[in-house]
Amino acid sequence: MRAPVRGLPILASLLALATSIGSAQDVADAAPIEPDAAPIDPDAGVTSDAAVSAEPSPETRDETLPAGVGPIDWAESTGGRNCHRSRGRRVCEGPRRVPRPSAEALARQQALGLDQPRVAHHAVAGAPLPEWIAAVPAGAAHEDLLWPVQGGRLWRGFGIHQRLRRGRDGRMRRARGRRRHEGVDIGADPGTPIVAVNDGLVVYSDNRMSGYGNVVVLVHRDGSVSLYAHCSATYVAAGELVGRGQIIAAVGATGLAHGPHLHFEWRLEGRPRDPLRRFVGRPARPETAEDEPAADAPEPPDEEPG
């Protein structure tokens, strides 16, 4: 039985949220999001027919969950990778691999109005609602962030970067122009566990943020937001409370991605911030984009993705 929404303050906040971001959701539904751009920007659509690495359908994947995870009651899958065009832009999603919420998570999800794409957009492009922040248990204060992929290599950092283009031989090369990268890309083998950088509330865990694939969005006690994109699977559902270092997903190449990696974003008040200086546990000698290309949505090759 669904838990009732209690408390007029929460109801008022949710009504205000619906009013403030309703129009933004209409825009988001019409224009897919480019992973490296501000997610609420209607002009930041996927601009390329990116070559993507196809992943097996969840029904055929031989998947072994990491220690400490599961068993998981998986939500309905969308099958294999689904690519379509929107406003002349190619968008690839899937396969969807996300869990159904537990009864406790579902009750919190309903009380706080979570698990909708517009909620994720609001969390990353604006200030999280006070009710979301208050739901995160007060614990030890951490100003640093855990490196989210153990053994993962830094493929691309935060800031302005040279555009990359994948050649017909599969290698990435420099292309004309530069672009702003609003997160960091961490390369690792498919299925490598992804952990939460800090304690937080899961406000979104699904694959309906165009371009991001299976993605998890967390709100933290200090009001910051972390985003984990292109996952092969997510292991937490909206409404769950997660601890620092808890496994929440696995590295993949869903959405607009050229290879298995984590696209990680860290935001304060809707503004992307460089997380590299706050990371602890980062490998001493990370690779670079020139060594291990895994850029989000670089210049596409001439041929269609296979």
pLDDT one-digit tens code per residue, 220-272: 999 999 999 999 999 999 999 999 999 999 999 998 887 899 999 999 888 88
Residue 300 has which token pair? Answer: 């596409």
Q: What is the pLDDT of residue 108?
A: 96
- Cα–Cα distance for residue pair 101/105, rounded to 1 Å: 6
Higher pLDDT, 302 or 139: 139
- Rounded distance between C-alpha atoms, residue 36 and residue 179, angstroms: 9
Per-residue pLDDT at 45 exceeds 90: no
Cis preceding linkage at 95, omega within 30: yes
Does 34 score more than 60 pLDDT? no
Q: Which fold has domain 8-52+67-280?
A: Glucose Permease (Domain IIA) (2.70.70)
* pLDDT of 300 over the 90 cut: no
Ramachandran sector of residue 168 (left: φ over 0; alpha: ψ -120 to 50; beta: rest): alpha
**CA 62, chain centre distance (Å):** 23
Q: What is the pLDDT of residue 133?
A: 95
- Kindly state the average pLDDT of the residues 37-45: 32
Give the length of the chain: 306
* CA separation for the pair 24, 5 (Å, rounded): 25
Indicate the pLDDT class of residue 211, thresholds 50, 70 and 90: confident
- pLDDT, residue 94, reads 66
How far apart, in whole angstroms, are the C-alpha atoms of residue 128 and residue 113? 12
Residue 242 neighbours by CB distance under 10 Å:
20
Reported confidence tier of residue 103, pLDDT bands at 50, 70, 90: very high
- Bond preceding residue 39 cis, omega within 30 of 0: no
Give the chain's mean pLDDT. 72
When mean pLDDT is compared over 26-30, 62-66, 166-170, 241-245, the highest value belongs to 241-245
Residue type, 62: D
**What is the C-alpha separation between 208 and 12, in angstroms, rounded?**
26
The stretch 280-304 carries a mean pLDDT of 48
- Between residues 299 and 276, the one the model is more confident about: 276
